[in-house]
């Protein structure tokens, strides 16, 4: 009889603690502002000879692993001092699937 009363009192204490724990409101979680990473477009560069130029684009011919490759790059603003057959270094980024020039510089070739 004594053990039954001790088991019964243990069950009552356990159930009362569970009901009192359920009555407490949950404290809100404080969340700080989320940091977002700004992805910068990768700048690439190429060196080659100008074969065609207009106000909106420039086409260059360059050598890649022993092969001649043509590359067309869109211009944001016209390149003033660049003409056909000039050797240039062009820094460009990819924007909306097109190559867009960021900077164009004439290159002087060292003749040996």
pLDDT digits (tens, 9 = 90+) for 5-50: 788 888 788 777 766 555 566 677 777 788 888 888 889 999 999 9
In a domain, 58, yes or no: yes
pTM above 0.75, yes or no: no
Whole-angstrom CA distances from 85 to 46, 50, 64, 77, 112 are 15, 5, 18, 20, 19
How many domains is the chain partitioned into structurally?
A: 1
Q: How far apart are CA 54 and CA 62, in angstroms?
A: 18
* CATH number of the domain encompassing residue 63: 2.40.50.140
- Within a 13 Å sphere around the CA of 69, how many CA atoms are in the beta-carbon half? 9
| Full residue range of the structural domain in which residue 76 is found | 44-106
In a domain, 87, yes or no: yes
């Amino acid at each position: 009889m004594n053990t039954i009363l001790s088991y019964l009192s243990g069950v009552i204490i356990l159930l009362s603690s569970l009901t009192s724990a359920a009555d407490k409101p949950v404290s809100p979680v404080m969340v700080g502002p989320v940091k977002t990473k700004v992805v910068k477009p990768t700048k690439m560069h190429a060196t080659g000879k100008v074969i065609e130029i207009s106000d909106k684009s420039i086409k260059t011919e360059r050598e890649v692993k022993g092969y001649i490759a043509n590359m067309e790059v869109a211009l944001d603003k016209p390149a003033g001092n660049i003409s056909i057959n000039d050797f240039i270094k062009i820094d460009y980024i990819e924007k909306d699937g097109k190559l867009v020039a960021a900077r164009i510089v004439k290159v002087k070739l060292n003749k040996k």
